Amino acid sequence: MSEQSMLHDQFDSTDERSELATSSLEKPEKIKRILETALLTSQEPLSIAALKKLFDNKVNTKQLSKFLEELRNDWIDRGVELVQVASGWRFQTKIEMLPFLSRLDPPKVPRYSRAVLETLAIIAYHQPVTRGDIEEIRGINVSSPILKTLTVRGWIDQVGYRNVPGRPALFATTQDFLNDLGLCSLDELPPLEELGSLVEADASTNTLTIADEDPEPKSALRDDESD
């Protein structure tokens, strides 16, 4: 067999394998239905890496992004929307639909005190910060229950220690914070005055009660609580 003939057979074989791989993929509409089903039934946002597993990684990132955008447009006029957040993609109820849903089962809306909102805002816009940083900006003490409740809520976490005497703990917001507010990154944080509205919107679909304790006067803090 000549070298030219061998090369021709090799190319034919490669084309056949490529054609076979392509034919093994689902049709575009079925891919979208698979994505739709996975996203509707998942309790957490799904990343691109997770969605690729649905197709044995035979659909690449660019293709998936295209299908997700098409799926988002398919749902644009409905009461549920497909959104991209920090952890990936998810379906969620549109904000304007929440008042109607609350008539079916009025939720116990958490109360976010001014102290909680101020503390969360300072951490979000100045992170990483210590408890002392927060108190300096607010001009008043931060009670321990506020930090604890924000931590339990999953919105803030301890991310390290400042390299100064006493090594005070550093706090920052979490990926759950971005997910709950429908944001992909900290770059999408709204103006400070709008943050409270986003938090309250999330509260309408969450039943966790946020501690509403008045901060102690700064002079009343124990030495071991200060930074």
Tokens representing residue 49 in the block: 């890496």
User: Rounded to an integer, what distance in angstroms lies between the CA atom of residue 62 and that of residue 119?
Assistant: 39
- CA–CA separation, 222 and 32 (whole Å): 58
Tokens linked to 225 = 């609580």
**Range with the largest mean pLDDT of 63-67, 183-187, 212-216:** 63-67
pLDDT at 226 over 60: no
Question: Where is average pLDDT lowest: 3-7, 74-78, 190-194?
Answer: 3-7
What pLDDT, in 10s, does the model give residues 87-120?
899 999 998 998 888 788 766 655 678 888 889 9
Give the mean pLDDT of 178-206: 75
Whole-angstrom distance, CA of residue 220 vs CA of residue 135: 13
Q: How many CB atoms are closer than 10 A to CB 86?
A: 20
* Token digits of residue 155: 């919105």
In the structure encoding, which two tokens stand for residue 142, read together? Answer: 């931060």
